[in-house]
Chain A
Amino acid sequence: MVLIRTILIVGALLAARPAFAHAFLDHASPSAGAELRAAPTAVHITFTEGVEPHFSSIEVLDAAGKRLDSGDPHTEGPIESLAVDLPKLPPGTYTVIWHATSVDTHRTEGKFTFSVLP
């Protein structure tokens, strides 16, 4: 009986899970390791949880380490998505560095690269 009650409580906790947790990268566009024939005009990242745009960032650097993005990360629709605009990128390899602060202040970070083909 105690075991059943424990299982029910744990199940209820998981089922009633609030949207508060570490915001890990769910998917990105361009994606990690992507090789693109057309240069992207923005980087979009969707996280596993909602993020605070004022305390989150996306930086896009070229191979020389020069920052190229607009410096204005913003949400687009769902609070799980963050985007930053890009100028027209010439062929090359670019590094995306992101820092996310979820709505309950958990901080996460990561980076990946993508390439624009000639």
Chain B
Amino acid sequence: MSRSLVAAPLCALLLSSTAHAHGVAGAHMFISTLLIDDSNVADEASLPTFMWLPQSSGAGGPSPIASAASIEIDKRLTENFGIAINTGYQWLATPGQKTANGWQNLAVTLKDKVYVNDEHEFMASVGVTRQFARTGANGTNGATLGNADVGSTTATVYASKGFGDLPIGPLRALALTGTFALSAPDVSLKYDINGNPNNGGARQWQGGLSLQYSIRYLETQVQDHHLPAFVRNLTPVVEVAWSSPASKPNNASTQYLIGAGINYTATTYAVTAEALFPGNGQSGSHPGFIVQFHLYFDDLLPNSLGKPVALWF
């Protein structure tokens, strides 16, 4: 019981970060982030994202190890409106016990890029994510893995801003991206007169920020230091993802997860690796890591999968 309660909110937090896309506003290219989604709508895929993070034991015992291999497909339906599909396989290994494993629930996101200001390197989007209950592991196994037993709908606002307006040259290579969301399960959490919960959940606030430093931007927009090509494609990044209960009663706690690492973006793909640091005891017990291989279909297959469905006909 305690294991599932510890693992569930964290997995939900990571699963909620759908559609990890990169985007361009003016001269700034926002990278594909791992813990939160960015505001771009694109034709891309994460194949896969792999996460490993020790969990809090809850009762002072050995730490369970949560790991997951997730995939995501992003497809534009029109120029600025797209769909993203997320799923994956996860494991929860507790010393001395049989490893729980199974598929994550399927999540589908519809997102619309509503505003782009190239001059000020700003982009904003709105989206709705539907998580479908019992499309992954369910029952006792699903509960242990943190899969919700009821569906949920999440409304999200996304924004990305490059710092190209700043008068201090080296700082212009910075960018800040963020999300803010409210997630509502289909069934609210309730307790009977004996204190037993139903299978519902509490509403949750979710969000996060990423701070990126584009060496490509620094070299081509500010000051060319003639760095090697490989270095020019690197972007150091720090992210924080957060979730907190938004209704009572609730069986979740506020969680923070911090990621710090580096992104390498080539023309048609990107690779990102980050160390994960739990922000509090409810988010994990020790540092972990997350890595992602990301494909850009708009550059890889520009005349087919890489263009909006509306332009296929």
Residues in A lying within 8 Å of B, measured CB to CB: 6, 10, 13-14, 17-18, 20-22, 24-25, 27-28, 31-34, 48-49, 104, 106, 108-112
For the complex, give the distance between the alpha carbons of A14 and B24 in Å.
Answer: 22
Knowing A108-B24, A111-B27, the reply to whether A21 touches B219 (Cβ < 8 A) is: no
For the complex, give the distance between the alpha carbons of A33 and B225 in Å.
Answer: 9
B47 within 8 Å of A (CB atoms): yes
Partner of B27, one of A18, A20, A28, A110: A110
Name the residue of chain B whose CB is nearest to the CB of A16. B300
Q: Which residues of A lie under 8 Å from residue B296 when comparing CB positions?
A: 21
For the complex, give the distance between the alpha carbons of A32 and B223 in Å.
Answer: 5
Knowing A17-B267, A17-B268, A110-B221, the reply to whether A22 touches B47 (Cβ < 8 A) is: no
Knowing A109-B26, A109-B118, the reply to whether A22 touches B221 (Cβ < 8 A) is: no
Partner of B302, one of A21, A24, A27, A33: A21
Knowing A14-B268, A109-B118, the reply to whether A22 touches B24 (Cβ < 8 A) is: yes
Name the residue of chain A whose CB is nearest to the CB of B267. A21
Most buried by A among B216, B226, B299: B299
- Check A10–B47 contact: CB distance below 8 A: yes
Chain B, range 3-58, C-beta contacts under 8 Å to A = 24, 26-27, 29, 47
- Check A13–B300 contact: CB distance below 8 A: yes
Q: Which residues of A lie under 8 Å from residue B301 when comparing CB positions?
A: 13
B264 within 8 Å of A (CB atoms): no
Q: Which residues of A lie under 8 Å from residue B226 when comparing CB positions?
A: 31
For the complex, give the distance between the alpha carbons of A111 and B169 in Å.
Answer: 13
As a 0/1 sequence over residues 291 to 313 of chain B, the CB contacts with chain A under 8 angstroms (1 = contact) are 00001101111110000000000
For the complex, give the distance between the alpha carbons of A95 and B47 in Å.
Answer: 41
Known: A21-B302, A109-B26. 18 other contacts (CB 8 A): A6-B47, A13-B268, A13-B301, A14-B269, A17-B267, A21-B299, A22-B299, A24-B29, A27-B224, A28-B220, A28-B224, A32-B222, A32-B223, A33-B169, A33-B224, A104-B302, A109-B27, A110-B26
Complex A-B, nearest 4 residue pairs according to Cβ-Cβ distance, in ascending order: A33-B223, A31-B224, A21-B299, A110-B27
Residues in B lying within 8 Å of A, measured CB to CB: 24, 26-27, 29, 47, 118, 169, 216, 219-224, 226, 267-269, 295-296, 298-303
Knowing A10-B295, A21-B267, the reply to whether A112 touches B302 (Cβ < 8 A) is: no
For the complex, give the distance between the alpha carbons of A27 and B29 in Å.
Answer: 17
- Check B268–A112 contact: CB distance below 8 A: no
- Check B221–A111 contact: CB distance below 8 A: yes
Q: Which residues of B lie under 8 Å from residue A27 when comparing CB positions?
A: 220, 224
Can you sample 13 A-B contacts with CB below 8 Å? Answer: A10-B47, A14-B268, A20-B303, A32-B221, A32-B222, A33-B169, A33-B224, A34-B224, A108-B27, A109-B118, A111-B27, A111-B221, A112-B222
Q: Which residues of B lie under 8 Å from residue A21 when comparing CB positions?
A: 267-268, 296, 299, 302
- Check B302–A32 contact: CB distance below 8 A: no
For the complex, give the distance between the alpha carbons of A83 and B267 in Å.
Answer: 23
Q: How far is the CB of B223 from chain A (nearest CB, A)?
A: 4
- Check A24–B224 contact: CB distance below 8 A: no
Q: Which residues of A lie under 8 Å from residue B300 when comparing CB positions?
A: 13-14, 17
For the complex, give the distance between the alpha carbons of A25 and B229 in Å.
Answer: 12
- Check A104–B303 contact: CB distance below 8 A: yes
Name the residue of chain A whose CB is nearest to the CB of B26. A109
Q: Which residues of A lie under 8 Å from residue B269 when comparing CB positions?
A: 14
Q: How far is the CB of B202 from chain A (nearest CB, A)?
A: 38
Q: How far is the CB of B79 from chain A (nearest CB, A)?
A: 12
Partner of B267, one of A6, A22, A33: A22
Name the residue of chain B whose CB is nearest to the CB of A98. B27
Name the residue of chain B whose CB is nearest to the CB of A20. B302
- Check B220–A106 contact: CB distance below 8 A: no
Q: Which residues of A lie under 8 Å from residue B267 when comparing CB positions?
A: 17, 21-22, 48-49
Q: How far is the CB of A100 from chain B (nearest CB, A)?
A: 11
